[in-house]
Structure formats: structure tokens, C-alpha cells
Amino acid sequence: MRRGTLQQSELIQSIGWRDGNIEVKYRDDGAVFLYYAVPFTTYMALKRSKHPGTDWLSIRDQYRYKRL
């Protein structure tokens, strides 16, 4: 999955979406997680957000995930 960098986020280094899943690479430790069944509209809202890390923290527990 191709991820794009989020310059405005202190939490998220990069994020990508494909086939209903979001892949997130965190800045702190470089960990990459795949979150399942995330709507494309949620992905786009995060990309456009002024505070994508804060927004993501408020909703990420709604989704199943695995660490890659």
C-alpha cells in the first residue's frame, strides 16, 4: 500500500488507504498498523484535517487492526 506523508501531524508520519483499509505509520517508534473496514471518507477527512493525529486518536479504537 502506498502511504502519503502527513507533515501537519506530530503523531502520524504517513497514511494510506486501499480496499477499505488504512495503513498508518506512527512517528514516535515507526510502527506500522493496518486498520480494517475504515471508510474512504474517514481517510480523506484525516488527510484534510488540521489535526489528523488528534482526530485519529479519537476514532481509531472503533476499528480492528494488526501491527505489520
pLDDT digits (tens, 9 = 90+) for 5-26: 998 899 999 999 999 999 999 9
pLDDT for 9: 92
The pTM score is: 0.92
Using CA atoms, how far apart are residues 49 and 67, in angstroms rounded to an integer? 24
- Assign 59 a pLDDT band (cuts: 50, 70, 90): very high
1 pLDDT more than 90 = no
As a dihedral over the C-alpha atoms of residue 35, residue 1, residue 24, residue 37, rounded to 10 degrees, the angle is: -20
